[in-house]
């Protein structure tokens, strides 16, 4: 995984990112998916991105590549995450890029289909990172 940069493990950075995740998660839970499906899905991806960044930090790596974050999870945490979950993360990455760069809007039915799996991924990542920073 050539896009990873080795560094000293940084538990403090991981803790700070976890704190930000909690704030973003509360914010996204307070939004009505009928009106804010796009913002919620975008927030879910950002939450996953922050958690993956925290995981790399605590493991002693960093990267500027979103794809490398997912690849790291696929290689180092394959036991904890199914291929379906990894594909969901990658799909969210692509959707988030369309939202950011094309003004793409998400419909509520997409949110309804993806929310449960996405929240499970976020919960699992939070648990892994939390256990590593304690």
- For the stretch 37-79, pLDDT in tens is 999 999 999 999 999 999 999 999 999 898 999 999 999 999 9
The structural domains of the chain, with segments of one domain joined by +, span 9-128
CB 79 within 8 A of CB 29: no
Torsional class of 58: left (φ above 0), alpha (ψ -120 to 50), beta (otherwise): alpha
User: Sorting pLDDT into bands at 50, 70 and 90, what band is 132?
Assistant: very high
- Position 105 pLDDT exceeds 70: yes
- Position 2 pLDDT exceeds 90: no
**Which residues does residue 61 pair with via DSSP β-bridges, in sequence order?**
6
Q: How many helices (H) and strands (E) does the chain have?
A: 5, 2
CATH number for the domain formed by residue range(s) 9-128: 1.20.120.330
At 28 the pLDDT is 92
Cα dihedral 87, 90, 91, 92 sign:
positive
Q: What is the pTM of this model?
A: 0.94
In 60-76, alpha helices (H): 66-76
CA separation, residue 24 to residues 42, 43, 60, 102, 122 (Å): 11, 7, 24, 23, 12
Q: Both tokens of residue 126?
A: 């939070």
CA separation, residue 25 to residues 3, 18, 39, 50 (Å): 28, 10, 12, 11
More confident residue, 64 or 111: 111
């Amino acid at each position: 995984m050539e896009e990873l940069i080795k560094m000293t493990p940084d538990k403090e950075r991981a803790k700070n990112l976890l704190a930000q995740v909690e704030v973003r998660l509360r914010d996204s839970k307070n939004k009505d998916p009928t009106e804010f499906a796009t913002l919620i899905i975008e927030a879910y991806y950002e939450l996953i991105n922050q958690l993956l960044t925290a995981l790399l930090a605590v493991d002693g790596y960093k990267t500027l590549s979103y794809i490398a974050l997912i690849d790291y999870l696929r290689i180092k945490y394959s036991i904890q995450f199914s291929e379906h979950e990894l594909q969901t993360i990658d799909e969210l990455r692509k959707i988030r890029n369309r939202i950011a760069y094309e003004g793409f809007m998400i419909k509520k039915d997409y949110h309804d289909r993806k929310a449960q799996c996405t929240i499970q991924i976020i919960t699992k990542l939070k648990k892994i990172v939390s256990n590593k920073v304690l």
